[in-house]
Amino acid sequence: MRPRIVQDDGQIGFHWATPAGAPTTLPDLVVDDEEADRLVATHLEALDDALIIAAEQFGDVLGGGRRPETDSERDDLICLHRALDGLCHEYATALELTGITADLRAGKIIGTATLFSICARQPLGLLGPAPFDGELDDPSLGVVSGFGEMRQVDPDKPWKGGRWVVRTESEQSFPLTLSMLLFDSSGVNKDAARNEHRDALSSVVTAAKAPDADPMAAACALDWLLYDWLMAHRDGPDSAEIVFPKGRDADAAVIVAAAGASVNARATFDPELLAPPIVR
């Protein structure tokens, strides 16, 4: 017999069980399994199915159409983000253990799951501040002239990450997003911008492992950089499906690693995040 996926009635997401029926996780399974690649692929497909169900159940809230109105809805959003975070973390950890490289499909599914998690946490007040929150200038109405740049919060503390800003000739700094840079700005080298954003994510993923890294700061940095990248790579303004431009296959591994690193960082101050799946 092989390990199997279990999804109880009312459970958001799923969990793994050993052939004997004991609860387990994907990382625990792949360590000694001769067909670890099959387990990893099965996990990804089950996560994709879970996202379809989540979109049907929570689409209006995740899309910002309305806020959760009852305690039950808020509890459901907590269950949703914890389930998705845990499943993304299991997948990212399994790839690290096996050396399997995340492909485009993995990047799309983990990316969408991460976006769902962020959108579930936002109305609950469970997202930390974006880099430079409250420190940037407020732009006036109309066209803003300046230079877009990825600015680090503190080069000596790279786990704090950074964000895109517009630097004007008068030395003002306005908030900028990757989406605005790619689609609403002129004279932008889009590949270079994507490379710089990817490198910023990779830098925080690496820095977050340092002994002196601040997990809260790292989580905020990762969540913002992920959210900014994911919002700029949706299939459309009303879609949560993540798409990768042609030739950007390597970005998938960075998105998967960053998603796992975000959960790792948040689990240090939210121990329930990696607890067994929550059943409603």
Reported pTM:
0.94
Decide if pLDDT at 9 tops 90: no
Question: 33-53: per-residue pLDDT in tens?
Answer: 999 999 999 999 999 999 999
> What does the pLDDT read at residue 146?
81
Pairwise CA distance, residues 263 & 259, whole Å: 7
Number of Cβ within a 10 Å radius of residue 212: 7
Decide if pLDDT at 23 tops 50: yes
Question: 99-134: per-residue pLDDT in tens?
Answer: 999 999 999 999 999 999 999 999 999 999 999 999
Decide if pLDDT at 280 tops 70: no
Dihedral Cα 65, 69, 75, 77, nearest 10 deg: 0
